[in-house]
Amino acid sequence: MKTRITEMLGIEYPIIQGGMHYVGFAELAAAVSNAGGLGTITGLTQPTAADLANEIARCRDMTDKPFAVNLTFLPALAAPDYPGYVKAIVDGGVKIVETAGRNPEQVLPALKDAGVKVIHKCTSVRHSLKAQSIGCDAVSVDGFECGGHPGEDDIPNFILLPRAADELEIPFVASGGMADGRSLVAAMALGADGMNMGTRFMATREAPIHDNVKQALVAASELDTRLVMRPLRNTERVLNNAASERLLEKEKRLGADLEFDDIIDEVAGVYPKVMIDGEMDVGVWSCGMVTGLIDDIPSCQELIDRIMAQAEGILRERSACL
């Protein structure tokens, strides 16, 4: 299947594994890339630029296919060593970067000079247009269904994707609610050039996370996510658990007086404990509504093969009807 995204990135199928904290390690990125998609290492999961360089090298040992690195720009008192991470990406020969969070303009010159393609993750058309104007090569358009941070506009993909198609000139992929061949065909019908999957790739055999997390995704339905941190305008979609209930109770009780320090126990430093140690209620962790479409834990190869077979079957069937 050829689209503007497959041609730009040099991949077989228009399926991208998004960056995920303490999920996007070399094992998963390599497995997705070997299966014909685009795997992604999560840069800030690595404590230092040197650690990221080592993770890139590990991924190179496992695949000769293209893979990406995610760089998320977060507000912080002590900013990560972004120039160091960029240098590790460039020196490691990585040619695709997924950026997220704040405007990535600060790192674009160094990346573009090295021939790196930049895909910026956006939750609105206006942010997508800004990414296009500063020189990003593509965008990942995140609908309200997505896990993690869906922005504050609450626009689902059935509206957001065709709006993006109306406005953008650069390629874009659909993110949020993507799980199978139906997702891919629908996303492309709405104007996207492919799809980005996060939560669905967590429930694969190669995802280097605790089995408790994978089983929780299989067990959950589309009704089992919650939106937290809305009063702080830092909305995050997470899987419902004891920590999300504690956090939401604090939001309700404190109202307009809520501050980040009030919820720090539920949100700070919890990902290693959840993803690596399997402590499911220690804090909140990102999960999309797509969990309602997850009912097994295949290999990445099995998952991508299944997606493409289903997509091709749908296209053939609809073509015959027409």
User: What is the CA 78 to chain-centroid distance, rounded?
Assistant: 24
Residue 297: pLDDT above 80?
Answer: yes
Q: Which two tokens stand for residue 80?
A: 């990560």
The highest-level CATH class for domain 4-208+296-321 is: alpha beta
DSSP H helical segments within 35-102, as ranges?
49-62, 82-91
Tokens 């949020």 belong to which residue? 176
pLDDT value of position 77:
66
User: What is the CA 168 to chain-centroid distance, rounded?
Assistant: 20
Q: Which residue has the higher pLDDT, 46 or 319?
A: 46
Residue 322: pLDDT above 90?
Answer: no
Q: What is the chain's mean pLDDT, rounded?
A: 97
Q: What is the mean pLDDT of residues 78-93?
A: 95
List, in sequence order, every beta strand (DSSP E) within 194-270: 195-197, 225-228, 236-239
This model's pTM is above 0.85 = yes
Residue spans of the domains in the chain: they are 4-208+296-321, 221-286
**CA angle, corner 25, sides to 180 and 98, nearest 5?**
70
Task: Give per-residue pLDDT as tens, 115-147.
Answer: 999 999 999 999 999 999 999 999 999 999 999
pLDDT value of position 306:
98
> Which amino acid is it at 70?
N
pLDDT value of position 247:
97
Cα–Cα dist 35/30, whole Å? 8
pLDDT value of position 75:
76
By mean pLDDT, which of 62-66, 71-75, 101-105, 149-153 is the weakest?
71-75
Task: Give per-residue pLDDT as tens, 249-272.
Answer: 999 999 999 999 999 999 999 999
Task: Give per-residue pLDDT as tens, 90-123.
Answer: 999 999 999 999 999 999 999 999 999 999 999 9
